[in-house]
Amino acid sequence: MLIKDNQNTDYGQKYGFSHIGSVAEYKEQVPFTTYDDYAEYVSRVVEGEVLLEKNTSLSSLISPDYTDTGSDETGSCNRQSD
């Protein structure tokens, strides 16, 4: 499971990935985020730090009810209807 694979990353530890076992738990523990929430991580990657285990991308860590259905000029993702 992707969440378990990344439970030891800074992001995974921040949001308690080791305690997430379902989509409902993910939604409870991981808040909606914007680019500003990832700015520090992006800066660290630009400086050469490896933040993710295996071949994981940040986009794969986004909440399951969000999808890349396009973005506006700010790069924000659109949320699927519930």
Phi, psi of 46 (to 5 degrees): -60, -35
Q: What is the mean pLDDT of residues 47-54?
A: 73
**Domain residue limits, the chain:** 2-79
At residue 67, the 3 state secondary structure works out as strand
Rounded to whole angstroms, how far apart are CA atoms 17 and 68?
Answer: 22
The reported pTM is: 0.56
What is the pLDDT, as a whole number, of residue 11?
A: 87
Task: Supply the pLDDT for residue 73.
Answer: 47
